[in-house]
Structure 1
């Protein structure tokens, strides 16, 4: 399998420089369950986009602190590419910013979460009744679904924690690529910027860990066009 990773994370801080980029995190996550897959990383936030879609088996769109509502030129180009990927029938997975970008590009909408920040470990509750612990870090979320989308999961203060469109699109509002050490460091890094109660709640949630393997398997099955 040959997968394109569209890297959208705009954080170029000293903190970010101490950790692997999302273009490394997402392949590392998937390789835990599909070690032989190949990945091509495109830093779309820097204006680097695939020349074409030929030879690709699927697409992953990463998270970012950037807002899908910014109007930035690279975001507009990403929306256009999302349309192209969808029209080509390639399976496309989006996480956090990627989830929101797919929704926005295809006619949905994204806005502030009325409850504020969702941060730390949360339970993603699937429509089939299963529950999966994942890391969250968002203050915006999908407020209106694109045409044909079906909500498949919800979470704390987030009614659209994931949606699908046929067999072509699968998303999550959360961060399956984050490792426990990274989210713990991120909570402390943002402690002075976020309300104290948000930080304290996030710290308390980290007594348990996300199930990266289970979510990676779901994503891999989707990209293989099998049941996820």
Structure 2
């Protein structure tokens, strides 16, 4: 399969420059499960998009510190492309910002997280189990970092995962799946990011994050589930 990765991460700091960029992290995630698949990276945050998105077998939208509600021109363009992909039933997987952008583009709502910043390892209850997710445990461990969330799902969407009563993933038809959290992040990166953001998140969030990172995420199982999602969506 050939997958398009739409990078929305607007962080160009020295920290970001010192670590693998999102295009590389998502390519690694895909090829962890399917080494023979190819990935093309597009810097959507810079207004760079595929000329014809329908030439791809599937699309992934990455995370970002940007807000889906900012009204930036590139975000408006991305929203239109999401609606185009939905109409074409093109297999689409959204992560964090991507999860929120898909929801917002298709009629859902995004809001500030009621409990404040979530960072570190998150445990997500699998509330639906499509066939492609059969390898996932009932409680899925995924690294996360966010202050906004999907408050209301788009019409027709089905919850996939929840955490503390808040939606952290959904499906829509056979062709869309999302997660609020970050399957592309490995343990080394989330630990480094936690230190980088320490002064911004405050002592309580930092302490919780540090405590959570004694356990690793279910990254191999997530990579396999995402690959199976694209395979199942292609057959649908």
TM-score (norm 2): 0.93
**Aligned pairs, how many?**
226
Partner residue, 2:124: 124
- Confirm or deny that 1:137 pairs with 2:145: yes
Stretches of structure 1 lacking an aligned partner (at least 5 in a row): none
Task: Output aligned runs, 1:207-218, within 5 Å.
Answer: 207-218=214-225
Residue-by-residue CA offset, 1:121-147 (whole Å, 9 max, x unaligned):
011110158111110100100011111
Runs of 4+ more than 4 Å apart: none
Partner residue, 2:67: 67
- Confirm or deny that 1:219 pairs with 2:231: no
2: distance between equivalents of 1:19 and 1:116? 26
1: distance between equivalents of 2:54 and 2:114? 41
- Confirm or deny that 1:163 pairs with 2:174: no
- Confirm or deny that 1:149 pairs with 2:149: no
2: distance between equivalents of 1:193 and 1:54? 40
2: distance between equivalents of 1:206 and 1:53? 37
Preserved contact between residue 8 and residue 43 of structure 2 (Cα < 8 Å): yes
Task: Output aligned runs, 1:1-228, within 5 Å.
Answer: 1-128=1-128, 130-156=138-164, 159-225=166-232
Preserved contact between residue 126 and residue 153 of structure 1 (Cα < 8 Å): yes
2: distance between equivalents of 1:131 and 1:52? 37
Residue-by-residue CA offset, 1:88-134 (whole Å, 9 max, x unaligned):
11110000000000000001010100100111001111015811111
Stretches of structure 2 lacking an aligned partner (at least 5 in a row): 129-136
Residue-by-residue CA offset, 1:167-222 (whole Å, 9 max, x unaligned):
01000000000010110011111111112100010011000110111011111111
Preserved contact between residue 91 and residue 225 of structure 1 (Cα < 8 Å): no
Q: Which one has the bigger helix percentage?
A: 2
